[in-house]
């Protein structure tokens, strides 16, 4: 399964209702929802009251990505809006297993995000305890950064580690995902491609449906 997930933070915040309708028409059924605290990353986004109505329409599978220090605090804050997935950064905690259990205790699927410079092996002890792995291909915080190509080697090691598992967590990639990077990632293996300003929410000609179709042409058939 390979799907496009729209980074709703990058959409037109003055017309989110229309954006959601246009994304549905484009065939997108996953939303990536960035939450930033201004501490772990030098940016702010998105509050529970913003995400709650988006989640409540139940038209999308939603993943809330907590780019925050003190992830336990934010798990408690965002669990009531009941996203499908809550994802925290491995770099922000010394007790990943406890956070995974806390998320599962809220009736939500759990994910771990990992930054480009962090060795992928750091999450290997938790592969049987989570449902999603978010591999950042840029440093979290801002859209439009340069894709970090060495991350592809991490994806190869991750897929090798997952080979043979009866139940595999989803692999999500986020950061300057466009036609070129999608093609390279798909050859290695991923499930979810987070797209934002690089390939979807931009001023380039074409509808969302056309842009999504162009990206999907670069998926490798398995």
Catalytic residues, which ones? Answer: 34, 174
The contacts of residue 65 (CB under 8 Å, 6+ apart) are 32, 33, 34, 35, 87, 113, 134, 140, 174
For 73, how many CA atoms within 13 A lie in the half-sphere containing its CB? 8
**Continuous H helices in 6-150:** 16-25, 48-56, 71-78, 96-105
The contacts of residue 42 (CB under 8 Å, 6+ apart) are 141
Q: Is 185 helix (H, G, I), strand (E, B) or coil?
A: helix
Instruction: Give the Cα separation of 62 and 217 in Å (integer).
Output: 24
- Residue 128, class by beta-carbon neighbours within 10 Å (0-12 exposed, 13-18 middle, 19+ buried)? exposed
For 63, how many CA atoms within 13 A lie in the half-sphere containing its CB? 28
Q: Is 183 helix (H, G, I), strand (E, B) or coil?
A: helix
- Give how far the C-alpha of residue 17 lies from the chain's centroid of Cα atoms, to the nearest Å: 21
What count of other Cβ atoms lies within 10 Å of the Cβ of residue 95?
Answer: 11
């Amino acid at each position: 399964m390979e799907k496009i997930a729209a980074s709703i933070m990058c959409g037109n915040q003055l017309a989110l209702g229309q954006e959601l309708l246009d994304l549905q028409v484009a065939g997108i059924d996953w939303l990536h929802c960035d939450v930033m605290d201004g501490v772990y990353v030098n940016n702010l986004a998105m509050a529970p009251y913003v995400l709650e109505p988006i989640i409540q329409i139940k038209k999308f599978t939603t993943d809330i990505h907590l780019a925050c220090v003190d992830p336990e605090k934010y798990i408690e804050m965002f669990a009531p809006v009941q996203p499908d997935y809550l994802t925290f950064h491995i770099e922000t905690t010394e007790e990943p297993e406890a956070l995974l259990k806390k998320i599962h205790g809220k009736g939500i699927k759990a994910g771990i995000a990992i930054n480009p410079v962090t060795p992928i092996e750091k999450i290997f002890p938790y592969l049987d305890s989570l449902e999603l792995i978010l591999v950042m291909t840029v440093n979290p915080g801002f859209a439009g950064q340069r894709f970090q190509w060495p991350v592809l080697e991490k994806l190869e090691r991750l897929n090798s580690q997952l080979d043979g598992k009866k139940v595999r967590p989803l692999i999500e990639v986020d950061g300057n995902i466009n036609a070129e990077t999608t093609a390279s990632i798909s050859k290695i293996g991923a499930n979810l491609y987070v797209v934002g300003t690089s390939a979807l929410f931009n001023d380039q000609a074409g509808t969302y449906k056309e842009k999504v179709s162009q990206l999907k042409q670069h998926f490798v058939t398995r």
